[in-house]
């Protein structure tokens, strides 16, 4: 029996509850092995991402119609209810009867007739008229209101209100719930903006960014061929900005710690005009193999990949510059990583801060006097960013932070730009 878009979506949501793989990886694998047409593939993608983004709000709404404790329901039943509620409230092109009937079928298949009747009863009560979200939120505090309205964990909302204020916090959450744009970097080793756009259908929509040779678009399909042959790389402008801050030069030796998936390493190679040496270090062979293949497609030959732990790796040469794109909470890319908002935790933040400090301390020992160290994250949390830098400078007086060399970008600060942080540090000459 051919799997439906809704059952495929349910399988992805269930797999996420049981494992640690990313939603886009799971979704891609499921779609590869399905016979769904383009319309149903788009529906499955919308359902997975929509349920993951709005999970907190959906559970709040469902709880007004489900007369038991939702958190005690079987995970598969919760996810079917979420799929149904999301279709009823957010997808105006899906008829209500279809949303209800398909979810009833799933409930019957996975939990039997009794649960299918319960599913039918709950979902038939959920309509745009019966859900009065703003009235339900009226007596709640500001933090809880925002958390439910934009479906983010309360503890994160509270942090952002303290760090950024109400207006910016609301803007971050709105951005995180939008369909993310694709960011593209033009490979100047193979083409030019004039040549690339001259070969693209005039009807294709795209917008330039603050960075030269970067643009954003809703349309991936029209640029897929250019990505495949190395004229383009998928990269958000915020990531590119960190590389430009480091400003790698031709003939330099650059060490890229925590290099996978390699977007920053390949951009550095392009800026260096494929002249010099980049040592790309990561712990995972498979990811480095993908980096090697991508570099080859881009026409890059100066990247050497090394499988090693970045906390202890000792290069044979002293680099002129080091890029440390540190493991982080990823709170700047929650719009792109839909499930991440439910996986990040206070405990994870503490663990990551310790790891980031260890990586910074080791990087400091590897750099030439007079060299440059660029620290970058895709987080917007102060402890992972400027506070991490402040603590590093106290431990390492031989380094200084360049006044114009640090930048925090919040999600949506610039059109199509994810959140992230970068700081350029200079090692004093002996």
pLDDT digits (tens, 9 = 90+) for 361-410: 999 999 989 999 999 999 999 999 999 999 999 999 999 998 777 899 99
| Nearest CA-CA partner of 51 in 98, 9, 86 | 86
- How remote is the C-alpha of 72 from its chain's centroid? 30
Beta strand ranges found along 283-398 (DSSP E) = 303-307, 321-325, 372-377
Collapsing DSSP to helix, strand or coil, 398 comes out as coil
Whole-number Å distance between alpha carbons of 5 and 12 = 11
Token couple for 123: 């979902």
| Nearest CA-CA partner of 136 in 127, 145, 128, 123 | 145
Q: Which residues contact 193 (CB under 8 A, 6 or more apart)?
A: 186, 213
Whole-number Å distance between alpha carbons of 382 and 138 = 31
- pTM of the entire predicted model: 0.93
Going residue by residue through the chain, which has 430 residues, state the pLDDT in tens, using 9 for 90 and above.
589 999 999 999 999 988 878 899 999 999 999 999 999 999 999 999 999 999 999 999 999 999 889 999 999 999 999 999 999 999 999 999 999 999 999 999 999 999 999 999 999 999 999 999 999 999 999 999 999 999 999 999 999 999 999 999 999 999 999 989 999 999 999 999 999 999 888 889 999 988 999 999 999 999 999 999 999 999 999 999 999 999 999 999 999 999 999 999 999 999 999 999 999 999 999 999 999 999 999 999 999 999 999 999 999 999 999 999 999 999 999 999 989 999 999 999 999 999 999 999 999 999 989 999 999 999 999 999 999 999 999 999 999 998 777 899 999 898 899 999 999 999 998 7
Whole-number Å distance between alpha carbons of 76 and 73 = 8
Whole-number Å distance between alpha carbons of 246 and 242 = 7
| Nearest CA-CA partner of 256 in 327, 323, 325, 356 | 323
- Can you name the CATH fold of 5-131? N-utilizing Substance Protein B Homolog; Chain A (1.10.940)
Q: Which residues contact 199 (CB under 8 A, 6 or more apart)?
A: none
Whole-number Å distance between alpha carbons of 106 and 103 = 5
Assess contact for 107 and 77: CB atoms under 8 A.
yes
Residue located via tokens 């319309």:
39
Q: How many CB atoms lie within 10 A of CB 384?
A: 25
pLDDT at 1: 57
User: Is there a catalytic annotation at residue 103?
Assistant: no
Assess contact for 205 and 154: CB atoms under 8 A.
no
Q: How many CB atoms lie within 10 A of CB 397?
A: 8
Catalytic one among 103, 209, 328, 378? 378
Q: Which residues contact 147 (CB under 8 A, 6 or more apart)?
A: 56, 153, 154, 157
Alpha helices by DSSP H, listed for 153-302, are 154-176, 193-198, 224-228, 237-246, 263-271, 285-298
Question: Secondary structure of 52-98 in the HEC alphabet?
Answer: HHCHHHHHHHHHCCCCCCHHHCCHHHHHHHHHHHHHHHHCCCCCHHH
Q: If one looks up domain 235-427 in CATH, what number appears?
A: 3.40.50.150
Q: How many CB atoms lie within 10 A of CB 157?
A: 23
CA 307, 298, 30, 17: dihedral to nearest 10 degrees?
Answer: 50
Token couple for 238: 């915020």
């Amino acid at each position: 029996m051919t799997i439906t878009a809704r059952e495929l979506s349910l399988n992805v949501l269930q797999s996420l509850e049981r494992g640690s793989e990313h939603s886009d990886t799971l979704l891609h694998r499921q779609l590869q092995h399905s016979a769904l047409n383009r319309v149903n593939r788009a529906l499955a993608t919308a359902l997975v991402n929509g349920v993951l983004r709005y999970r907190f709000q959906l559970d709040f709404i469902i709880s007004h119609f489900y007369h038991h404790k939702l958190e005690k329901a079987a995970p598969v039943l919760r996810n079917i209810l979420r799929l149904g509620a999301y279709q009823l409230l957010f997808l105006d092109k899906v008829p209500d009867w279809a949303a209800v009937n398909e979810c009833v079928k799933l409930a019957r298949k996975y939990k039997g007739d009794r649960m299918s009747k319960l599913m039918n009863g709950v979902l038939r009560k959920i309509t745009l008229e019966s859900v009065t979200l703003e009235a339900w939120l009226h007596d709640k505090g500001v933090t809880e209101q925002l958390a439910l309205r934009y479906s983010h964990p309360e503890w994160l909302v509270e942090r952002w209100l303290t760090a950024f204020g109400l207006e910016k916090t609301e803007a971050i959450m709105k951005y995180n719930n939008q369909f993310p744009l694709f960011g593209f970097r033009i490979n100047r080793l193979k083409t030019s903006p004039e040549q690339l756009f001259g070969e693209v259908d005039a009807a294709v929509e795209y917008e330039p960014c603050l960075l030269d040779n970067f643009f954003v678009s809703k349309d991936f399909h029209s640029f897929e061929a250019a990505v495949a042959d190395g004229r383009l790389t998928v990269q958000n402008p915020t990531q590119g900005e960190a590389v430009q801050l480091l400003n790698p030069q031709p003939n330099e030796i650059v060490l890229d710690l925590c290099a996978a998936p390699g977007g920053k390493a390949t951009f550095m190679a392009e800026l260096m005009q494929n002249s010099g040496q980049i040592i790309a270090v990561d712990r995972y062979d498979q990811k480095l193999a993908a980096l090697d293949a991508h570099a080859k497609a881009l026409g890059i030959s100066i990247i050497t990949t090394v499988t090693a732990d970045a906390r202890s790796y000792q290069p044979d040469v002293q680099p002129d510059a080091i890029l440390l794109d540190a493991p982080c909470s990823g709170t700047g890319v929650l719009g792109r990583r839909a499930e991440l908002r439910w996986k990040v935790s206070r405990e994870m933040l503490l663990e990551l801060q310790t790891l980031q400090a260890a990586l910074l301390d080791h990087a400091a020992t590897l750099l030439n006097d007079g060299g440059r160290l660029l620290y970058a994250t895709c987080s917007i949390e102060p402890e992972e960013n400027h506070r991490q830098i402040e603590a590093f400078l106290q431990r390492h007086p031989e380094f200084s932070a360049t006044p114009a060399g640090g930048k925090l970008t919040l999600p949506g600060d610039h059109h199509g730009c994810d959140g992230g942080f970068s700081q350029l540090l200079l090692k004093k000459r002996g």
